[in-house]
Structure 1
């Protein structure tokens, strides 16, 4: 398992390649919740999500094969790997499933990476990516089940603690679980870390209940970013030790969170990026009186037409 020193090293390694995103102290009326919040604006990251951190950490951590890199993704991880590879002059091939949003597919194409769209779900894209890596020797950059990825995502927690000390709890959206694994490993129980999954995509909650990773069915508005069927071993190992709680947010609350992020901050968030706030809107997580709560807004790669329908 990674250490906090690994996360600190990742933060130094990726400096100059990613943004140190801002943290805002928001008053109790910002989202109509009657609760002041610390919000880490990771949707302002260079690729629109936190995924750039893990991608750059992986690509900078060791020598690259001549065949370059490949990645399977619902969209955001693919954007990040393609972007990092382009900046570092590394060939990249990205596999995405058919459910990926047109906005995310367009962003991958803009990087110049080779793009393959096929299969109904992320698991289909992952199988195709792993076959390509085995055939060519390309480095397969996993979206979450890899220590360099998890360490890179953990730099979100490092910055959050430096910029907004004194938090009691942070709410973090969960897809495959790399983000919450890195953040929870950084905080080491100094702060309560609560994972937020869509009701229709609960791979981490199911794994923690079972005591090991298990496959789940996926059906959610946020499936293109929070649609992992299985969190796999590294995420389960870390979350079992350091994640305090996982709650489920319904799709209607996620849509409402997108709306309130727009009205309160003029932030165009994708469904997965709004999921953590949705836990407060729906009551899936109810803070205690006086509890100092942080919310991670983690993704903005949204199709604007679909956002317009929500707001």
Structure 2
């Protein structure tokens, strides 16, 4: 048991200063196990911005979301002797860890709060993993995950504050810059910061002039609140159309907080109503079914919150694992209940 504990400690202490080399190594580790997703042009968003606009379609991953990249890289670098992977998740990371565990012949226990949509629970269970629903926030789920991680052979993979996870997500940035070398602005959904940190590191290492903007909902914006405070802080977690962006960043955050603080040029907050309209726009204009978390960049542009870009723009369509009942209500202009908050609907274009 002590040898495995020592391996865990070495794992957590290494790569505390990530570089572009780590991201290239991650690409080699996950090659053939994740999809190099297409970067599709959006005629509608090109018209809105006056610049070429591209959608990075992470919805085409086998698990339906970008999280598979980081989860696969971390799982393949787990300490020798690991028999079980565990994590806390708002859904997509858990699905990625469950998928990676199955591919490697490992067990998985995924800890989630009561706010996680049923569709995401079902997707994880379908991969053969155990799920534990704990409390009403990701912090509650994390506490349970940390307990599990103390057992022999069990290894915890953070959804965002892990060097291998961040490097894995950073491979998205490599692909975008390879496809559009003259990219001006990169819009990245922001939650715990693993995606934003990795993508920003990749993009700015290749082209320091690229503007990288983090975007999130205005209710429960943990990373933005923490950066404003100068340290990681707790933020109440509430129901949102962008449920994948919920949860805190961890008071003991070691990597993603500092990387987002130092690498992001700006953080923009969008309202639930703006997310609602952007989900409709992505569906009706570009025919994509996607989670609310995917459209925060589109929402900021349609709401006039983003400074006009001077060249090509890209955003990451992060996942498709949406609650279809809720999605149908949004597409048909119906009201949506988010916890105790009533979001009034409106038909697209009305």
- The TM tier, using the shorter chain, reads over 0.9
Q: TM-score, normalised by structure 2?
A: 0.84
Q: What secondary structure, in the 3-state scheme, does the structure 2 residue paired with 1:120 have?
A: coil
The answer on whether the counterparts of 2:115 and 2:239 sit within 8 Å (CA) in structure 1 is no
Q: Structure 1 residue 228: deviation in Å?
A: 2.0
The answer on whether the counterparts of 2:49 and 2:308 sit within 8 Å (CA) in structure 1 is no
* Candidates 48, 54, 65, aligned match of 1:33: 48
- Is it true that 1:281 corresponds to 2:302 in the alignment? yes
Q: Structure 1 residue 307: deviation in Å?
A: 0.5
Task: Quote the Cα distance in structure 1 between the aligned partners of 2:20 and 2:82.
Answer: 31
Taking a change above 3 Å as real, the CA distance of residues 58 and 66 of structure 1, as seen in their structure-2 partners, is closer
- Is it true that 1:262 corresponds to 2:283 in the alignment? yes
**1:217 paired residue number:** 236
**2:258 paired residue number:** 237
**1:80 paired residue number:** 96
Q: What secondary structure, in the 3-state scheme, does the structure 1 residue paired with 2:149 have?
A: helix
**1:143 paired residue number:** 159
Structure of higher CA gyration radius: 2
Q: Structure 1 residue 217: deviation in Å?
A: 2.1
- Is it true that 1:133 corresponds to 2:149 in the alignment? yes
Task: Quote the Cα distance in structure 2 between the aligned partners of 1:240 and 1:164.
Answer: 25
- Is it true that 1:299 corresponds to 2:319 in the alignment? yes
**1:196 paired residue number:** 215
**1:93 paired residue number:** 109
The answer on whether the counterparts of 2:78 and 2:155 sit within 8 Å (CA) in structure 1 is no
**Aligned length in residues:** 309
Task: Quote the Cα distance in structure 2 between the aligned partners of 1:84 and 1:183.
Answer: 21
C-alpha distance after superposition, 1:174-205 (max 9, x if no partner): 11110000011112233110000100021121
- Is it true that 1:108 corresponds to 2:124 in the alignment? yes
- Is it true that 1:23 corresponds to 2:39 in the alignment? yes
**1:54 paired residue number:** 70
Taking a change above 3 Å as real, the CA distance of residues 258 and 66 of structure 1, as seen in their structure-2 partners, is same
The answer on whether the counterparts of 1:10 and 1:151 sit within 8 Å (CA) in structure 2 is yes
What residue ranges of structure 1 are gaps of 5+ in the alignment?
none
Task: Quote the Cα distance in structure 1 between the aligned partners of 2:237 and 2:303.
Answer: 20
Task: Quote the Cα distance in structure 1 between the aligned partners of 2:219 and 2:289.
Answer: 23
CA RMSD of aligned residues (A): 1.6
- For 1:133-212, list aligned pairs within 5 A: 133-188=149-204, 189-212=208-231
**2:271 paired residue number:** 250
Task: Quote the Cα distance in structure 2 between the aligned partners of 1:216 and 1:291.
Answer: 35
Taking a change above 3 Å as real, the CA distance of residues 306 and 279 of structure 1, as seen in their structure-2 partners, is same
C-alpha distance after superposition, 1:238-272 (max 9, x if no partner): 11221111010111111111111111222111111
C-alpha distance after superposition, 1:84-132 (max 9, x if no partner): 1111111111111111001100000000011112210111111001101
**2:133 paired residue number:** 117
The answer on whether the counterparts of 1:216 and 1:230 sit within 8 Å (CA) in structure 2 is no
Q: Structure 1 residue 32: deviation in Å?
A: 6.3
The answer on whether the counterparts of 1:31 and 1:260 sit within 8 Å (CA) in structure 2 is no
**2:329 paired residue number:** 309
Answer with 72-81 or 183-192: which moved more.
183-192
Q: Structure 1 residue 227: deviation in Å?
A: 0.8
Taking a change above 3 Å as real, the CA distance of residues 30 and 70 of structure 1, as seen in their structure-2 partners, is same
Task: Quote the Cα distance in structure 2 between the aligned partners of 1:241 and 1:103.
Answer: 35
